[in-house]
Amino acid sequence: MGLNVVILGPPGAGKGTQAARLARQRGVPKISTGDMLRDGIRDRNPVALEAKALMDMGRLVDDRTMIAIVQERLTRPDTAQGFVLDGFPRTVDQAEALDSLVASHGNGPLVIVDVKVPEDELVRRLATRRICESCGTTAEPVVPEPAGCPVCGGTLVQRIDDGARVVIERLRVYAESTRPVLEYYRNRPVFQVVNGAQSPECVAQELESVVEQASVVPPPIRPVAE
């Protein structure tokens, strides 16, 4: 039985780092819609290039485009044993589409984890976050700043959308469009919350244990058709 995990949380909560660790541990792909778009921009993909203006302003790319991207990604064979999703769903329409995709995928439960971090901590983290210009790796924030990308040695730069003004817009968009996604999932027995305001190691431990707990929740009893 596969394991499908959705990591939710505001920008700067550490979703990407935690999703990557969990995916590695479980041997399933990490699917980050933000990374897919940024990779697409580097490869001059027309859909991603069209999305770039919205990304740079801290706005969301339209649901149709994002659902199509995720739908295509979830049909690839490496998701047969499950996946860890980072950055999707960001709207209730995307969450509904994901439910249908998982139902047709039919390979195990969907576990939802919300990574909670106070807003002042998010702003601080985003101001110091750096990304590799060449391969897109997000560098762990360390002091003093690392000289280059730990993966390819490329130059580390600030993401355009991590600039102070865009961060305010991203947090506003999160509150308006993505917080309702928490309400969409909140009453499910597979919904879990972790404290993201700890060291990455502690968050990873908490995440691992809630995923373990949630993945043994029995499926809801469906009425038998007459």
Q: What is the DSSP letter of 176?
A: I
Q: Which is nearer to ligand AMP, 50 or 217 (CB)?
A: 50
Is 7:30 a contact under the CB 8 Å cutoff? no
Enumerate residues 91-120 that contact ligand AMP by CB under 6 A: 94
Catalytic residue, from 38, 90, 125, 130: name it: 90
CB atoms within 10 A of CB 44: 8
Catalytic residue, from 21, 30, 129, 130: name it: 129
In whole angstroms, the minimum distance from the beta carbon of 130 to ligand AMP comes to 14
Judged by CB under 6 A, how many residues of this single chain contact ligand AMP?
Answer: 17
Sign of CA dihedral 154, 26, 10, 169: positive
Is 108:4 a contact under the CB 8 Å cutoff? yes
For residues 136 to 175, the per-residue mask of contacts with ligand AMP, x marking binding by CB under 6 A and - elsewhere, is -------------------------x--------x-----
- Please name which of 8, 17, 30, 29 lies closest in space to residue 204, comparing C-alpha atoms: 17
With CB atoms as reference, the residue minimizing the distance to ligand AMP is 34
* Catalytic (active site) residue 90: yes
> Residue 70 is which amino acid?
V
For residues 66 to 95, the per-residue mask of contacts with ligand AMP, x marking binding by CB under 6 A and - elsewhere, is x--------------------xx-x---x-
For residues 23 to 62, the per-residue mask of contacts with ligand AMP, x marking binding by CB under 6 A and - elsewhere, is ----------xx--x----------------xx--xxxx-
Q: Distance between CA atoms of 122 and 67, rounded to whole angstroms?
A: 27
| Interface residue with ligand AMP, options 8, 9, 10, 11 (CB under 6 A) | 11
In whole angstroms, the minimum distance from the beta carbon of 69 to ligand AMP comes to 8
Tokens of 34: 């933000």
In whole angstroms, the minimum distance from the beta carbon of 208 to ligand AMP comes to 22
Q: Which residues contact 70 (CB under 8 A, 6 or more apart)?
A: 31, 33, 85, 88, 94, 97, 98, 101
Distances (CA, A) of 4 to 61, 99, 215: 23, 11, 9
Active site residues: 15, 90, 129, 159, 170
Q: Which residues bind ligand AMP (CB under 6 A)?
A: 11, 33-34, 37, 54-55, 58-61, 66, 87-88, 90, 94, 161, 170
